[in-house]
Structure 1
Amino acid sequence: MCLQVCGWKKFRWCTLSDLEQRKCAELSKALTAVLPVTNTDSFARISCIRAHNTYDCIDKIRVNKADAASLDAGDVYSAVKLYGLTIVAKEIYEQGNCVFAVAVAKRGTLDIQRLRGARSCHSGARWTSGWNIPLGFLLARNDLSWDEGQPLSQVISEYFNASCIPGIGVAAPQLCALCQGQKSYIRDKNHFCETSSNEPFYDSDGAFRCLKDGIADVAFLDHLTIMRATESEQQEYELLCPDGTTAELSKYNTCNLGKGPGRGIITRHNFQKITNKFLTMIQRLFGRKGKERARFELFNSSSFGGKNLLFRDATQHLQLLEEQLEIAYVLGLDYVALLKGLGHEGSSLDNSVVRWCCISNAELRKCEEWALSIKSDPLVCVQATSMASCIEMIKSSEADAVTLDATHVYIAGRCGLVPVAAECYADESTEEISKLHLKRKGLSPAYAVALAKKNAKQINIHNLRGRRSCHSHLYSPGGWLLLSRYTVGALENIAENCDIGSAYQNYFWKGCMPGADGNLCKVCIGDSEVEGARVSSRCAANHNEHYYGNMGALRCLVGNPSGRSFGDVAFLEHSNLLWNIENLKSSGWAKGYTAVDFELLCPDGTRAAVTEWAGCNLGPIPPSTVMTRPVTVTKIYDFLMKSQEFLETKLDSEFHLFQSQKYGGSDLLFKDATQYLVPATHMSYQEILGESFFQLAESVFNCTPAGKVKFFILS
C-alpha cells in the first residue's frame, strides 16, 4: 500500500470507448502541463485503462488493474453489493443527483397503456432509467406478470416484441435483437449489445438514437438526454405519461415513470482517500469553475466528437462522500428496495443455467445424471483438471460453482469467490466439539487423521521422516496444511522450510500427493495399468488418479490391486473411513482388510483404533463449501436448495446427491459423508474456516514463494 500512497504518481481511470480514451489522454496532458504551476507533484500522470464494458471496468477496479470509473447508479449498486467496491462521489446535475426516467415515442403513435408488443430500446440493463424504474413501474401496474422463480429477462422478452437492452447478456436473445453493435466470435471485436459506446444504442443517447432511426417504437432513458433535444426533435417526439396521456419533451418534471439517483464514481475501499484527493484536484482545475478550464473542460465532451465521456456532460460538479457510507443511504432507501425487488442481487437477471465444475470423468458422469434428474432446473456440467482450475474458470465466468475443500475455500476466497452452502456431516460425536468455532457457527467439521497398518508397529507421528507417504491431494486440508504442524512445521529450522510444498519433498522419501511433482508423485499410479492412460493421469489432482482423495490415500496405503505401489502412512479425513475400508473389498481393490488392520497415529506419539478419531486426530477441518462469484450467489443458492429438496422428496430416484459408488469413485461433487447442505450465504469464507484454520492458511501461503501457487490471485 505504501507504494501506492507514497511513490505512485499514476491514477488509472477506466474508459469504455476510444473517444473516452482520447478525452482521458487529454486530461492527462492537461494535468502534466498545469501541475508544476500548482506546486503539486501528486498524480503527475493519469493512465487510461480501456475496458470492454461496464462490468469489465468493475472487475478491473476490483482486481487492482484500474482505480475508478463513473457508472450508472444500477451498476454502482452491483459494484458495491456484489463486487465489494465503494462509491466515493456522486455527479450533481441541475436537479441535484436525481434523474427522471422517461418513456419517449414518436408523436401520436403510442401511449403508456399500449406498450405490450412494442419494440423498445433501453439505456442499459439494470440501469436506473432504462431498466429499474420502467420495470418497477410496469410491475406495480400489473402490466407485467412475474413469477420470481423465472428470470425477469424472460418476462420482458415476452412483453416487448423486440428490444435493445445493452448488457442484458445471452439470457434472452430477443432483448438484444434490435442492437447494432458489431458481432464477432473474438471477444475484443464483439460489441453487440454490450455496455460500451461501441454499441450504437448504448446509454440514454443510444436509446434515443434507436428511436430516431425508426428501429424502436419507444425508448426508455433519462431526462438529461432530452434536455438537449433540438427543436425538430421536440416537434417529432413526446413523453408517455403514467396516466395514459402524452406531453412535450420539456415536461419531464411532471410526465415521467419515476425518479432515481444519477451516476456515481466507484473505487476500492482502500483507495477511497486517494480517489477523493484526485477528484478534488481535477474538479478544482477543470470543473465548471476550474481555474484551468480554458485548457480542459471536465464536463464537456463536444470537442472529442462524443457525449458523456468520463462524466455526464450535464454534471455541474462532483459531490464527494464520507467514507464507509451505507449504499442505501447514498442511493436512497426506496431505490435500493426497488433493486432488491427486481432481484438485482442475483438470479432474476442472470441466465438461469447453472454451470457446475467437475474435476474428473467420474464427476462428469455423476453431474450429468444430476442434470437429468432435475430437468426443471437447467444444469450444465463443465470439466476442469483440478479444484484450482475450477477456481480460475469460475473467476473468468466459464463456470458458476464448485464444492471446494477448506484449503481451496481459502484460496477461492482470496480470489474473490464467496460461499453459498456448506456440507454438514451430522455426527454422533458433535457434543464433544461443542466449543469449537465451527460448531458455534452451526457447521460440522471433519477431522484430519494419520493412518498406518496395524502390523507396522514401528511407525508413529514423530518418525515419519524418510517414509513413503499417501496424501489425498496437494493443498488438501488434512494431507497438506494441517499436517505441516506435525511434520515440516515442527522442525527446528522453520525459516528454511517456510515453503511447506518444498519441505515435504525433503521430508518424505517418496509418496503420492496428487497435483504435486518430484518424489511426491513416484508412488502414484494414474487411472489404468494401460501405459498411455496411466501416464496422462498419473499424479493428476483429480479422481482420474486412483490415489486421489480420501479413498485414494487409503488405496495408496494398501497398494494397487497387485500389491505394489504402496505407502507407509496415509493422511486423510475421518469421515467415511470405515466405509472406505469396507469398499476396498467390495470394489475388488484389495481383499482381507478390515478396520482392525489399521490404526491412527496420535499427536502424542501413541496409536489408537480407527474408531478413536475424536481423541486421536491432527485437527478439525472446516466443511467443504460450495463457492461462486458474488454476482451468482442467489442463483446458485436457489438452485442447490431446490435441487436438494426435490431429490429428498423423490424417493424412487436412482440418483443420490451424496453417493458416488455407482460412478466408480468416492466423494464426487460432494463428500459421501454429507447429510445435507446448509446455507452459508450469510457467512464470509473466513467465518466458515474459523480463526485457527484461517491463520494457519495465511501463514503458510504468505511465505510460499511467488509463482509456486499459480492460481493464487490476491484480490
Structure 2
Amino acid sequence: MEKREYGRGAALIVNICPACSPSPHIRTSFCFFGLQANKADAVSLDAGEVYSAIKQFDLIAVAKEMHKDGSCVFAVAIVRNQSLDIHSLQHTRSCHSGARWTAGWNLPMGFLLSRNMLRWHENQTLNEAISTFFSKSCIPGANGMAHSLCSLCQGHKSYIRDQNYFCETTDNEPFFDSEGAIRCLQGGWADVAFLDHTAILKMENSEKEHYRLLCPDGSKAQLDDYRKCNLGQGPGNAVVTRHNYRRLARKFLSVVQKQFGPKGKESSRFHLFNSSFFDGNNLMFRDSTDRLAILSDNTDINQILGLDYVSLLKGLGHEGSSMDNSVIRWCCISSAEQKKCEDWALNIKSDPLVCVRASSMRGCIEMIKRDEADAASLDGTHTYMAGQCGLVPVAVEYYGDDCIPSIDEEWQKMHHSGEVLPPVYAVAVVKTSSRNMHIGTLARRRSCHGQIYSPAGWLLPVNHTVRANPNKTYECDINAAYRTFFWKGCMPGAKANLCKVCVGGTEDEGPKSSHQRCAANHNEFFYGNMGSLRCLVGDSSGKSFGDVAFMEHHNLLENIKSLEFSGWSRGWILSDFELLCPDGRRASLSEWKNCHLGPVPPNIVMTRPVITTKIYDFLLKSQETLEAHPESDFQLFQSHNYGESDLLFKDQTECLIHTGHLSYRSLIGEDFFQLVEAAFKCTESDILPFCKQDVCNIF
C-alpha cells in the first residue's frame, strides 16, 4: 500500500507494509524482509514483534502508538463459563490474539510460568509446553509450532499457498487479533480468550454482562475492571523502519498525524486511527490509538518496551535465550562473596554457574531487573525493594533444624519444606562495661549498623531510637533522622556522620582502599552482623569505634568467638556483652527471645518471574550435590573459610524452601511489609525510583 500526503509544499511517499501478505502465516516476517529489501518502508507492530524487528532484523522503532491512558495495554483473560478461574485453565480450550503477541501470548504465558501453573520442562520448547497445557487452541501465527495451537482456528485451508489463510496473522483468519479472540469465545469454540483490553472498549454494555475477567488471585471481575483485574501490563504497538529511512519515516508520521489524527486538519476526510470505514479492525494502527509519539535516535529498546518486558521476552525465547540456556548468573556484592560463589560453581554438578558482581544489594536488584544477573538472596527490606521492582521469590532460607524432604508428584523432584519459618530477631548490643547505656540513652552516641536499609540495622531500631519519644516530632526521612539522632557511626551505604567511623577494607590485590570506606558490602570491615560487632569492640590496638551495635541475634555467639580467630580483636567472651531491651532493661545475650527489637524476616532468593523454575531447579541440584558430600571443604551455608559471615546466604541456613507459589509480601509478613512501606513514603532510596519507571507514560 502506498500512502501519500502533501502538505505545506512538501511531498512524502512512504510505502506502508499492509496487514496482509501473499504468503500465509508469515505476515510479520514478510514485512521484515520487505523493509530490509526496500519493498516497504514502515509498519506498526505488536511489541513482541517490535523486539524481533530490532534484535533480529536490525530495524529501528521511530514511533509508539499512544492511547488516552498511555502507551501500554492490559493483558486480560476472559471467560463465559462462570465456573472457571485462573487456577483451573489446564486442559481448557483457548483463543489468543496472536502468537508471541504481548497480550495474547507473552504476558499470559509469563504469568502462568511465574505462578507455576504452566510447567515448562527442560526438554520441551515453550510451544510444546503450551500445547500440553491447553487441550486445543487458536493462536494465529502458531502454525508449524504445534498442531493443537491452531486446531480451533477457522481460516480457509488450501494446498495453494496464496489461498491458505488458516491460523495466519491477518483478518483472513476469523479468530485473529483481540477482536477475533472474543469472536472465538462468543461462538463457543473456546473456554478462555487471551487478548488486550482495547477490544473490551468496543463491546456493548449489554454484551459485556455475559463475560468475566479472570483475576490473578482466583477471583473474577466485570470486564470494565481490567485495570485491577489483569495478567499484566505491557507496551503497545510501535512503528519500525530501516535505519537509513528513520528520519524520513519520522517526518512522514509527524505530518500525517497532524493532517489525519483525531485533531488533524483533514480528519473529516480520513481518520488515521479508525478502521470502521474499511470494514475491519485495527488496520495499520490500533483503532484505540490517540496519537503517535515520535521517538528520538537515542531511544533504546529498554525505553521503548520496558526492562520487565524485555527480560520476559528473553526468558520466553524471543532471542534464543530461554530455558535451554542453562547458565545461572548469581549476584555477589564483594570479593569474599565472589570467591565463595566461584567455589560453589566448582563444587556442584548442575547447570553452569557464573558469578557476577554488584556493589550492593540494591545493585543486585538493578542487575537482575536489567537481565545482567539472575538471582540473589536478599534480606527483608531489600526483598521489598525487589518486589517493587517486579522481582519474585524463588526460595526462602530456612533456619530451623527440621528441613523435611518431600516429593513433588507432578515434577517427580525432591523439595524441602518446613512447618514454620523460625524467626530471627533484631537486637541492640552494648559492652557490659558501659553501665550507663540503656535503650533510652542512645541519643548522641556512636552507633554501628550492619548496613543501610537492613531490617536489624536500619528499619527495626527506628521506633526505639529516632521515634522513641511520642511527645517529640521527628524527621520523617529515616536517614536524616538517624544522622541527627546519633553523634556519628558506621552504617555502610549511608552518608555524612553515619560513615565517620567506618574503616573500609582490603581488596584481594592490595592494601586498604579508601573508596571502599562505608561501602554497602563486605569490603567495608564494619558491614553486616560481623562488621557491626567489629565496630562495637574496636580493633586490636584498643581503638574504640562504637557504643551500640544493631544486628541480628542468629550468629552473634559464633561471631564473638570468631573475633579471636580472625585477628581483629582478642580476648572477648560472651559475658562482655549485653542486650538493650525495649523496656529499658539490660539482659544477657542468651535472653534474646524476650529482649529484642522485633522479628526479622528470613532472607529470600529473588529473581525475574519467568525464570523462577529454572533458578529453583538449580538450587535444588546444588543442595542435592552438596548434601551427598558432607565431607567436602565447601559448604554452601558456611562462610568462615572466607574470613566473613553470611556470604551469599546466612550461615544459619539449613536448607532452601521452595516459595515460587507465594508472594514476597506474604513471606516477609504483613506487619513488616507495612513497616517498610511506611518508611519509604518519605525516605529516599535510589533503587525505588528506578523500579517505578513507567514505560507506559514516559513519552
Give the TM-score band, short-chain normalised. 0.5 to 0.7
1:329 corresponds in structure 2 to none
1:691 Cα deviation after fit? 2.2
AA aligned opposite 2:547: D
Q: Which digits, 9 at most, give the CA deviation of each residue in 1:606-630, with x for residues without a partner?
A: 1111111111111111111111122
Q: In 2, Cα distance between the equivalents of 1:690 and 1:71?
A: 29
Q: Does 1:69 align with 2:48?
A: no
Residue 451 of structure 2 contacts residue 528 of structure 2 at CA under 8 Å; is this kept in 1? yes
TM-score (norm 1): 0.58
Q: Which digits, 9 at most, give the CA deviation of each residue in 1:648-688, with x for residues without a partner?
A: 11233222110011122110000001111122222212211
1:663 corresponds in structure 2 to 642
Task: Indicate the SS of the match to 2:533.
Answer: helix
1:415 corresponds in structure 2 to 389
Q: In 1, Cα distance between the equivalents of 2:283 and 2:614?
A: 36
Q: Which digits, 9 at most, give the CA deviation of each residue in 1:247-266, with x for residues without a partner?
A: xx9999xxxxxx87776105
AA aligned opposite 1:419: P
Q: In 2, Cα distance between the equivalents of 1:668 and 1:388?
A: 16
Q: Does 1:680 align with 2:659?
A: yes
2:242 corresponds in structure 1 to none
1:265 corresponds in structure 2 to 196
Residue 398 of structure 2 contacts residue 602 of structure 2 at CA under 8 Å; is this kept in 1? yes
- Pairwise mapping of residues 143-292 of structure 1 onto structure 2 (< 5 A)? 148-150=121-123, 152=125, 227=156, 233-234=162-163, 264-266=195-197, 273=224
Task: Indicate the SS of the match to 1:452.
Answer: strand
1:473 to 430, 451, 458: 451
1:6 corresponds in structure 2 to none
In structure 1, stretches of 5+ residues that fail to align are: 1-17, 23-47, 75-80, 85-95, 102-122, 134-145, 157-202, 241-248, 253-258, 278-284, 313-341, 429-438
1:649 corresponds in structure 2 to 628
Relative to 1, partners in 2 of residues 1:508 and 1:21: Cα closer, same or farther, differing over 3 Å? farther
1:504 corresponds in structure 2 to 482
Relative to 1, partners in 2 of residues 1:223 and 1:72: Cα closer, same or farther, differing over 3 Å? farther
1:518 corresponds in structure 2 to 496
Relative to 1, partners in 2 of residues 1:547 and 1:50: Cα closer, same or farther, differing over 3 Å? farther
- Pairwise mapping of residues 286-685 of structure 1 onto structure 2 (< 5 A)? 295=271, 298=274, 309-310=285-286, 349=323, 351-426=325-400, 442-492=420-470, 495-528=473-506, 533-564=512-543, 566-685=545-664
2:246 corresponds in structure 1 to none
Relative to 1, partners in 2 of residues 1:49 and 1:460: Cα closer, same or farther, differing over 3 Å? farther
Q: In 2, Cα distance between the equivalents of 1:154 and 1:368?
A: 35
In structure 2, stretches of 5+ residues that fail to align are: 1-14, 20-43, 54-63, 79-84, 88-92, 110-118, 130-138, 176-188, 199-212, 216-220, 229-260, 289-315, 403-416, 695-699
Task: Indicate the SS of the match to 2:430.
Answer: strand
1:143 corresponds in structure 2 to none
Q: In 1, Cα distance between the equivalents of 2:161 and 2:587?
A: 90
2:681 to 678, 696, 702: 702
Q: In 1, Cα distance between the equivalents of 2:276 and 2:365?
A: 43
Q: In 2, Cα distance between the equivalents of 1:276 and 1:19?
A: 33
Relative to 1, partners in 2 of residues 1:682 and 1:263: Cα closer, same or farther, differing over 3 Å? closer
Q: In 2, Cα distance between the equivalents of 1:546 and 1:53?
A: 49
Task: Indicate the SS of the match to 1:420.
Answer: strand
Residue 204 of structure 1 contacts residue 222 of structure 1 at CA under 8 Å; is this kept in 2? no
AA aligned opposite 2:196: I
Residue 19 of structure 1 contacts residue 309 of structure 1 at CA under 8 Å; is this kept in 2? no
Q: In 1, Cα distance between the equivalents of 2:496 and 2:552?
A: 24
Q: In 1, Cα distance between the equivalents of 2:524 and 2:383?
A: 22
Q: Which digits, 9 at most, give the CA deviation of each residue in 1:110-149, with x for residues without a partner?
A: xxxxxxxxxxxxx64999899x99xxxxxxxxxxxx9934
Relative to 1, partners in 2 of residues 1:687 and 1:263: Cα closer, same or farther, differing over 3 Å? closer
Residue 366 of structure 1 contacts residue 663 of structure 1 at CA under 8 Å; is this kept in 2? yes
Task: Indicate the SS of the match to 2:595.
Answer: coil
Q: In 1, Cα distance between the equivalents of 2:165 and 2:52?
A: 35
Relative to 1, partners in 2 of residues 1:308 and 1:654: Cα closer, same or farther, differing over 3 Å? farther
Note the aligned Cα RMSD (angstroms).
5.3
1:573 Cα deviation after fit? 0.5
Task: Indicate the SS of the match to 1:490.
Answer: coil
Q: In 1, Cα distance between the equivalents of 2:588 and 2:604?
A: 29
Q: In 2, Cα distance between the equivalents of 1:702 and 1:150?
A: 46
1:528 Cα deviation after fit? 3.5
Task: Indicate the SS of the match to 1:369.
Answer: helix
Q: In 1, Cα distance between the equivalents of 2:195 and 2:46?
A: 19
Residue 357 of structure 1 contacts residue 381 of structure 1 at CA under 8 Å; is this kept in 2? yes
Q: In 1, Cα distance between the equivalents of 2:518 and 2:632?
A: 35
AA aligned opposite 1:69: V
Relative to 1, partners in 2 of residues 1:510 and 1:272: Cα closer, same or farther, differing over 3 Å? farther
Q: Which digits, 9 at most, give the CA deviation of each residue in 1:363-413, with x for residues without a partner?
A: 111111111112432222111110111111111221111111111111212
Residue 454 of structure 1 contacts residue 596 of structure 1 at CA under 8 Å; is this kept in 2? yes
AA aligned opposite 2:342: E
How many pairs does the alignment contain?
494
Relative to 1, partners in 2 of residues 1:233 and 1:634: Cα closer, same or farther, differing over 3 Å? same
1:490 Cα deviation after fit? 1.2
1:357 Cα deviation after fit? 0.8
Task: Indicate the SS of the match to 2:356.
Answer: strand
Q: In 2, Cα distance between the equivalents of 1:698 and 1:99?
A: 37
Q: In 2, Cα distance between the equivalents of 1:397 and 1:511?
A: 35
Relative to 1, partners in 2 of residues 1:605 and 1:20: Cα closer, same or farther, differing over 3 Å? farther
Task: Indicate the SS of the match to 1:489.
Answer: coil
Relative to 1, partners in 2 of residues 1:687 and 1:458: Cα closer, same or farther, differing over 3 Å? same
Relative to 1, partners in 2 of residues 1:560 and 1:262: Cα closer, same or farther, differing over 3 Å? same
- Pairwise mapping of residues 6-45 of structure 1 onto structure 2 (< 5 A)? none
Q: In 2, Cα distance between the equivalents of 1:491 and 1:311?
A: 59
Q: In 1, Cα distance between the equivalents of 2:649 and 2:17?
A: 47
1:450 Cα deviation after fit? 0.6
Task: Indicate the SS of the match to 2:479.
Answer: helix
1:695 Cα deviation after fit? 1.6
Task: Indicate the SS of the match to 2:340.
Answer: helix
